[in-house]
Amino acid sequence: MRIRQQKQIGMFLAESFGGDRGGALFARQKEILQEIIRNTQNRSKNQRKTLVQTILPRIALYKAMQESLPEAETHAQMRRYMLERVAAQKHAEMMRMEAIPGFYALYSRIFLRVVRSSDLWESEQEHGTDGFSVTMKKCLWHTACVENGCAELCRLFCDVDDVTYGGLCENENPWLRRRLLRFPVLQEITAFFERSSDNEKMEKSFAGSCAFTGGRWICCVCEDKLLPDGRKGHDC
């Protein structure tokens, strides 16, 4: 299985510690990663995918540096990797998505649906017309850190979220928007919102159209497949 995070981790280690030392740390990180993957049992397919692709590579990086570096340097390097590499990249992606008209309303519905249906979290939710809140009672990231003897690392995963979603504001950036609209999926999303000039009608029509996949919108409530021009009448 190809693990996407590994390329980023290898580059970070090489840039931070040089070719030889960085290469040795990366080799050790890969050994630890395979070991903790083998020891990960009794997980759903979704949980295992998230662990292998997202959580465990970073736990393995932390453990590899723990073996070779003083505690303070380990934490400083791990924090630099998580915030300057992982969080910065995710924040840039969120900023690009801001250019989509109505993005925040769309994102909130997708987010709430994912949190409700996923087995990665246990949560309590509150939402109204002007916002929503989610209180996480349990999450796979914390569980994985505790099970692998590095509960302190979980805070950095939370800090990544703070950076990812921090400083965002709904605004119009014509230059950014022109660049975004090169992508067909974003063109579809943008066209959908722009066809609905009345805010109330727009809110009602997209409430059942949370995901665009395979050339069709999928309703986030009943999961019906909706034709691009048939979304307006959907009312579940």
Q: Identify which of 90, 93, 92, 103 has the alpha carbon closest to the alpha carbon of residue 189.
A: 103
Q: What is the pTM for the complete model shown?
A: 0.68
Query: How many whole angstroms separate alpha carbon 97 and alpha carbon 82?
Result: 21
Query: How many whole angstroms separate alpha carbon 117 and alpha carbon 232?
Result: 25
Is the CB of residue 232 less than 8 Å from the CB of residue 122? no
pLDDT along the chain (236 residues), means of 10: 90 95 97 96 94 96 97 95 91 81 76 85 78 82 95 92 73 45 44 40 34 41 42 40
The confidence score (pLDDT) of residue 95 equals: 82
Q: What is the DSSP letter of 188?
A: H
Write the CB contacts of 82 (distance below 8 Å, at least 6 apart in sequence): 58, 156, 157, 159, 160
Residue type, 150: C
Lookup: tokens for 32: 């630890």
What is the radius of gyration, based on Cα positions, of the chain?
21
